[in-house]
Structure 1
Amino acid sequence: MLETSAGLGQLITILIMATALGMDAFSLGIGIGMKGIRLLHVLRISVLIGFFHILMPLLGIFTGQYMSSLLGQVTNYAAGGLLILLGAHMVFNSFKAGETRMIDHRSLLGMLLFSLSVSIDSFSVGVSLGMFRSDLLLTVLAFGICGGALSVMGLLLGRRVSRNLGEFGEALGGVILMAFGIAFIF
């Protein structure tokens, strides 16, 4: 019974983190969607984001497991601190004014760069989760599905609403990561 509740707690934690990380793809997707985007590009970008949201935390988890073997008892503090820094960075970036993106999201290179840029923070979270020995398959699938799904929602929503909504999505994701970082430390 105790193992089942621990597994459920881990599942809920991973899903919340995956959603928080996907908020970056959601918020930036709104901006791209507002520029006008074809449904085919929505699909391509979302699949690439889902792929990178699987690859980056996977690499991060392996790195975190290695670091855990090196750091020992300091692991909780390092992982929590990393999440706090990443969350604070997301909140800070969400309020930067007047930043323009020069990447053409319709080209293959533009789609790859955009997908990688919104997925890079998944690496850091993967490092933290690797230190805690989280379930590998569950983690990467949750990150990939949430990243891809939230990017679809952001891109499609961007076709219909104003640009200001996207900034708050990234800030919310950052606050959630900071809260988990504090919880890992204490």
Structure 2
Amino acid sequence: MGSIPFVGEMITLSLMALALGMDAFSVGLGMGMIPLRLRRIAIIGFTVGMFHIIMPFSGMVLGRFLSNQLGSFTTMGGGALLIILGVQMFRSSFKKDDEPALSPIGFGLIVFALSVSLDSFSVGLSLGMFGVRTVMTLLLFGIASMVLTWIGLLLGRKVQGLLGTYSEMLGGSILCGFGLQLIFG
């Protein structure tokens, strides 16, 4: 009898993890259209996974103290960051050099990982108020987002090979569209 609440909580948290990871998948699909090596893809996925652990944990810790208004602020901030990344990718598609304006290396990687994990902060805020199993939640969120980021980046890489010079433009458009959806959706 005692395992039924645990199973229900696992199913709910797994679905939440997949939903949050779909953001990373969608953005990874756009970002994957930049030429990336497999090692870079692995690092990006790992970094996004780590941010999907850090951000909801921060939200859980602060969830008892902050108001619900912060949740909409983080979604707007995440959308704005995605639009900035998308515009920079789109602009760099018109340049003749092969290097994107903001690549997922160093600061660009931090901005990318932060932009796709901000919504998990607001989810962490609400989960912190309900007292869910913290370690299980964070592991599910981190693993789902890491794997879905890898899938998105690898699919984007395949599409990039098919689209050639238009792939970065398409990737930037996808990021902008997803950012607008976060802000206005």
Q: Which amino acid aligns with 2:122?
A: S
Q: Which amino acid aligns with 1:123?
A: F
Partner of 2:88: 101
* Deviations 1:148-174 (CA, angstroms, capped at 9, x unpaired): 11100000010123758x68xx69x98
Partner of 1:144: 142
Tell me, in whole angstroms, the C-alpha distance in 2 between the residues paired with 1:46 and 1:105: 14
C-alpha displacement at 1:107, in angstroms? 2.5
Gaps of 5+ in 1: 72-77, 179-186
Tell me, in whole angstroms, the C-alpha distance in 2 between the residues paired with 1:16 and 1:148: 15
- Give the alignment of 1:1-186 within 5 angstroms: 1=1, 3-66=2-65, 99-102=86-89, 104-161=102-159, 163=170
Identity %: 40
Q: Which amino acid aligns with 2:109?
A: M
TM-score (norm 1): 0.70
Tell me, in whole angstroms, the C-alpha distance in 1 between the residues paired with 2:135 and 2:150: 22
Partner of 1:107, secondary structure, is coil
C-alpha contact (below 8 Å) 1:105/1:114 kept by paired residues: no
State the superposition RMSD in angstroms: 3.4
Q: Which amino acid aligns with 1:55?
A: I
Partner of 1:74: none
* Deviations 1:14-37 (CA, angstroms, capped at 9, x unpaired): 111111111111111111111221
Partner of 2:143, secondary structure, is helix
C-alpha contact (below 8 Å) 1:58/1:140 kept by paired residues: yes
Q: Which amino acid aligns with 2:143?
A: I
C-alpha contact (below 8 Å) 1:56/1:126 kept by paired residues: yes
C-alpha displacement at 1:138, in angstroms? 0.6
C-alpha contact (below 8 Å) 2:104/2:112 kept by paired residues: no
Partner of 2:167: none
C-alpha displacement at 1:106, in angstroms? 3.8
Gaps of 5+ in 2: 90-100, 161-169
Tell me, in whole angstroms, the C-alpha distance in 1 between the residues paired with 2:105 and 2:143: 23
Tell me, in whole angstroms, the C-alpha distance in 2 between the residues paired with 1:43 and 1:120: 21
Q: How many residues align?
A: 156
Q: Which amino acid aligns with 2:53?
A: I
